[in-house]
């Protein structure tokens, strides 16, 4: 009896220490840089959120090349940081190597899948989120023409564009969707001027809602749309505040939650490896509504978006994911 009691107490104590465990978190950004007002900044916000809540300091690093990214992930792991989070698909092969070298360290990769027992892969269904904002764009458009400006021409960004086009065409099947990419190099994530030029071009062709999925380049899209009194749609972070009244909504990818949850889960000893797929159902991708754009989203638009959300969750509407077959059915 006493023995069982002691064991119970011991287990209770053990688990309580586990809850209060101190972690030494690290974060490696994509090459776009920390303050891109978009993808990387969302990760930064997640880490800051955790720091504010728990007082746990974290270390971060902004690599400039693939070799540096791998070095940074390995450096963090070898110095005892745990968990090590790498945001961006660019670190896939680096993660495969380093995670195998440090099996006791927990790793998280965002936007890609690494199949190792100590890696959590967080992916998002951007096609679904883009479908919703495409739907809103289609309803807000008076000309029947909407635009999409992507960053670098890679499958991930085509996935955004493809989901968006499907959403817009669900409103009106003859909806015209212009699609342009800023460039073919990493510089495309950080070229607001060229993004702005592409936007101007699409506006000249009649587009009146333009969706930007282009990292820091997207700021050029938002700016140009605001200058021309048209609507724009932000991406990754909530960008509604950038040009209130002109940014129709933002397709928010909750990368901040991915980072925050990973830290929290490890501190509470609840960390799980494997693929975490976040779609509309799990609140991983949402369209942002706040005080800045409340007036722009009419009750009909909201109703249509809610219905589409329900349909996607129920499975009656299937949004085609470009990356499954590298094709867009439109």
Q: Is 27 in the site for other proteins (CB under 8 A)?
A: no
CB 188, CB 151: distance < 8 Å: yes
**Gap between the Cα atoms of 254 and 285, Å rounded:** 6
- Pattern 153-172, other proteins, x by CB under 8 A: xxxx----------------
> Minimum distance from CB of 21 to other proteins (Å)?
24
Residue 98 or 168 with smaller CB distance to other proteins: 98
Contacts made by residues 6-15, CB under 8 angstroms, sequence distance 24+: 15/269
CA 321 to chain centroid: 16
CB 51, CB 58: distance < 8 Å: yes
Q: Is 67 in the site for other proteins (CB under 8 A)?
A: yes
- Cβ neighbours for 11, distance < 8 A, ≥ 6 positions apart: none
Comparing CA positions, the residue from 217, 243, 213, 219 lying closest to residue 229 is 243
- Pattern 107-146, other proteins, x by CB under 8 A: ----xxx---------------------------------
Residue 85 or 140 with smaller CB distance to other proteins: 85
Q: Is 92 in the site for other proteins (CB under 8 A)?
A: yes
Selected range binding other proteins among 93-101, 165-173, 236-244, 265-273, rule: CB under 8 A: 93-101
Cis bond upstream, residue 83 (ω within 30): yes
| CA within 13 Å, CB half, 313 | 14
- Pattern 269-308, other proteins, x by CB under 8 A: ----------------------------------------
Give residues in contact with other proteins (CB under 8 A).
Answer: 33, 59-68, 71-72, 74-75, 89-90, 92-93, 97, 101, 111-113, 152-156, 183-186, 323-326
């Amino acid at each position: 009896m006493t023995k069982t009691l002691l064991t119970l107490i011991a287990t209770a104590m053990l688990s309580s220490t586990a809850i209060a465990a101190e972690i030494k978190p690290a974060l490696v950004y994509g090459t776009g840089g920390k303050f891109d007002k978009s993808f990387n900044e969302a990760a930064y916000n997640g880490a800051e959120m955790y720091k504010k809540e728990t007082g746990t300091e974290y270390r971060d690093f902004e690599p400039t090349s693939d070799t540096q990214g791998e070095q940074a992930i390995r450096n963090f792991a070898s110095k005892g940081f745990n968990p090590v989070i790498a945001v961006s698909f660019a670190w896939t092969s680096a993660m495969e190597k380093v995670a195998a070298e440090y099996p006791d360290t927990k790793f998280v990769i965002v936007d890609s899948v690494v199949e190792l027992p100590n890696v959590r892969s967080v992916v998002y269904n951007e096609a679904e989120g883009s479908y919703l904002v495409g739907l809103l764009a289609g309803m807000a458009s008076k000309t029947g023409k909407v635009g999409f400006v992507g960053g670098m021409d890679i499958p991930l960004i085509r996935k955004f564009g493809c989901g968006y086009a499907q959403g817009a065409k669900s409103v009106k099947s003859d909806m015209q969707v212009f699609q342009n990419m800023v460039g073919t190099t990493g510089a495309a994530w950080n070229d607001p001027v060229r993004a702005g030029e592409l936007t101007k071009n699409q506006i000249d062709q009649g587009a009146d809602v333009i969706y930007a999925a282009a990292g820091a380049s997207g700021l050029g899209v938002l700016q140009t749309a605001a200058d021309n009194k048209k609507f724009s749609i932000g991406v990754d972070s909530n960008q509604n505040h950038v040009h209130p009244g002109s940014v129709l909504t933002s397709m928010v990818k909750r990368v901040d939650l991915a980072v925050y949850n990973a830290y929290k889960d490890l501190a509470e000893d609840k960390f799980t490896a494997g693929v975490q797929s976040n779609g509309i159902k799990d609140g991983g991708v949402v369209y942002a509504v706040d005080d800045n754009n409340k007036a722009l989203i009419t009750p009909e638009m909201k109703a249509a978006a809610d219905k589409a959300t329900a349909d996607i969750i129920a499975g009656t509407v299937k949004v085609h994911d470009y990356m499954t077959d590298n094709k867009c059915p439109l």
